[in-house]
Each structure stands twice: as structure tokens, then as C-alpha cells.
Amino acid sequence: MSATASSLVRVEQAHWGDRVYSWALRLIAALVPLLIVAIGVELYRGSQPSRVAFGWHFLSSSAWDPVFGHFGAWPYIYGTLLTTVLALLIAAPLGVGTALFLAEMAPLWLRAPLGYLIELLAAVPSVVYGLWGIFVLAPWLQNSLEPWLTAHFGFLPFFQGAPYGVGFLAAGLILAVMTVPFIVGVAREVIAAVPVSQREAAYALSATHWDAIWDVVLPSARSGILGGIMLGMGRALGETMAVTMVIGNRPTVSASLLAPGYTLSSVIANELTEAMTQLHLSALREIGLVLFGITLVVNILARLFVWRVTRGIGKVI
């Protein structure tokens, strides 16, 4: 689609104004990839004291002591990964199920309003999710769900310890709600993109509607759905405010989901304006670098997956 009139008509001697104009546009467009490089360079430069002091050990160390100047990112990396995995375990099946309902099941008149409501989930600001998490979700977890989990599943390592309300579980749940719209958005598009003729072929072989979905639609949409899940993963990894407000902000590495934790993004949010030493500040910027690196890889993979299916016409979400 990007081939336009300009590629049809090659004007040998362009008007001088046109040359200025097209170079200006080219420069501005080139700014976008440059921005990504600049972000990486800036974070790398800013984390120099910390990188020199701790080296790769920074990633595996659990020390975080601003007073004595020992910094390690492991509890934050752990918290980010655990909450993200938890969120995706909940959001992926729900998201794909919802996408199937929207694309295959819902009556036509209901599809647009339902789709809008799902998009509204993505429009609710992170800080509002956090506010709700602190005052509604966390108390409910502490008084109802978590005691129930410890009573019935307390033998599992995931559900041990006192119910705090805030912790990995609360953060994972909030993240699940926040990532679901991204998964639904992409999954719905790729499911709708599966040709009707393929379904008809399945029906002709006496497949039920679900058989057609399971054996025909989902396999052809698989790579796009994976891309959508990875997009959601990118969101969950970098999400800051809601997580900061419900995770408890204590750097623990615990198998129990009920324990309070910390994430890469929340420690930046909480400590950057209070960092007193150069080393502390640079350690926080190195945390930012780690976060940027992880999300960069996830996002690139996600885009490759989605683009392969939608051939580059995928809309921004």
C-alpha cells in the first residue's frame, strides 16, 4: 500500500521547494529510530558509575543498600518477571476467549459496543487502576481470597504466609486486567482474518463450531495471537503506577504469591527523586536500562509475529 503516486511519477528535476520539503520530512522520520537509539545510549551513559562498580553482578545480586552503596537488581527483575507471568497466565486464556466471543459468537449488533468497552479498559489510566487496587482489590484479597487460598491450597509453596493484600498476587491480577485489552485487540483481528472458506471446509467435514475454531481458526491465527500476547507482555513488564501501588514495595524473592514484592519500574518510580548519591542514581538508571532492554526484545519479537500475519497494516494499539 505504501507505493504511491511518487513511485509512479519520477520527476527528474524536482522543484527546489519540493527537495527541501522531502528532506525535511525524511529528517523528521529518521528521528523516530534515532530516538530509540538515543534512549538506549542515554541510559547506558547514565548508568556508568553503577556498571563500573558492580559489573554483571548487578543483575544477580540481591543487595539494595543506598547507605552503604551496594546495589543489585535481582529482586526487582524477579518481581517484574513473576508478576508478568502471573498476569499472562490469567490474561491470555481470557483474552483469547473474549476475542473468540467477539469474532465468532456475539450477535452482530453487540460486537461494536463490546469492543468499545474492552478498549475502554485500555483507556483507564494506570493510576486509577492503582487507586482501585489499594482501596478495593487489596482489602478484598486480604480478607477474602487470600485466607481462602491459604486454607485450601496452603500446602502449595505459592500460597503460604500471612495475607497482606498487597503483593505479587494483587499486582498480577491488576496487570492481567490491564493487558487483556491488548491481547483481545490483536487476537480478534487475526481471528477475523482467517478466511471463511477454511471454516466452511471444516463444517463440510461435519465439524462442530468449536471443532472448526480449535482445529482450523486457532492454528492459522496462532502466530498473530502469540504476537498479541507478547504485546501484552511488553505492557505488563513496563507497567509502573498500578503495580507500584499494590505490590507492597519490598524487595523479596519469594515463591509465595501472597508476599509483598517489588518491580524494576516501581523502584525507579519510588526512589529516583530521593536518590542522594551518584551511585544510587546511576543504579536506578541501570535498572531502567535493564527494563528497556527486556521490553525492547519482547516488543521486537511481538511486532515480528504480528506483522507476519497482518503484513504491516496492523493498527497501533
Residues in 71-90 at the binding interface with other proteins, rule: CB under 8 A:
none
Please report how close the Cβ of residue 155 comes to other proteins at its closest, in angstroms.
27
Residue 128 interacts with other proteins (CB under 8 A): yes or no: yes
Residue 265 interacts with other proteins (CB under 8 A): yes or no: yes
Complex with other proteins: residue 63 or 122, whichever CB lies closer: 122
Is residue 70 a contact partner of residue 234, using CB atoms and an 8 Å limit?
Answer: no
- Residue 296, SS3 per DSSP: helix
Please report how close the Cβ of residue 119 comes to other proteins at its closest, in angstroms.
8
Please report how close the Cβ of residue 71 comes to other proteins at its closest, in angstroms.
16
Residue 179 interacts with other proteins (CB under 8 A): yes or no: no
Please report how close the Cβ of residue 15 comes to other proteins at its closest, in angstroms.
5
The DSSP secondary-structure symbol of 73 reads: -
DSSP calls for 78-110: HHHHHHHHHHHHHHHHHHHHHHHIIIIIS-HHH
Among 66, 223, 269, 310, binds other proteins (CB under 8 A): 269
Distance of CA 56 to the CA centre of its chain: 25
Residue 153 interacts with other proteins (CB under 8 A): yes or no: no
Complex with other proteins: residue 65 or 274, whichever CB lies closer: 274
Cα 80 to Cα 74, 152, 259, distances in angstroms: 10, 27, 14
Give every CB contact of residue 52 below 8 A, 6+ residues apart in sequence. none
C-alpha cell at position 49: 558509575
Residue 30 interacts with other proteins (CB under 8 A): yes or no: yes
Residue 288 interacts with other proteins (CB under 8 A): yes or no: yes
Cα 38 to Cα 101, 264, 278, 289, distances in angstroms: 42, 21, 21, 12
Helix, strand, coil shares of the chain as percentages rounded to 5?
75, 0, 25
Please report how close the Cβ of residue 259 comes to other proteins at its closest, in angstroms.
20
State how far the Cα of 215 lies from the Cα of 199, in Å rounded to an integer: 10
| Binding to other proteins, residues 181-210 (CB under 8 A) | 184, 208-210
Please report how close the Cβ of residue 253 comes to other proteins at its closest, in angstroms.
22
Complex with other proteins: residue 197 or 273, whichever CB lies closer: 273
State how far the Cα of 113 lies from the Cα of 109, in Å rounded to an integer: 8
Among 141, 166, 291, 309, binds other proteins (CB under 8 A): 291
Instruction: Count residues binding other proteins (CB under 8 A).
Output: 102
Residue 59 interacts with other proteins (CB under 8 A): yes or no: no
| Binding to other proteins, residues 209-248 (CB under 8 A) | 209-211, 213-214, 231, 234-235, 237-241, 245
State how far the Cα of 254 lies from the Cα of 266, in Å rounded to an integer: 17
What number of residues does the chain have?
317
Contact pattern for other proteins over residues 89 through 108, marking x by CB under 8 A: ----xxxxxx-xxx-xxx--
Among 10, 17, 107, 151, binds other proteins (CB under 8 A): 17
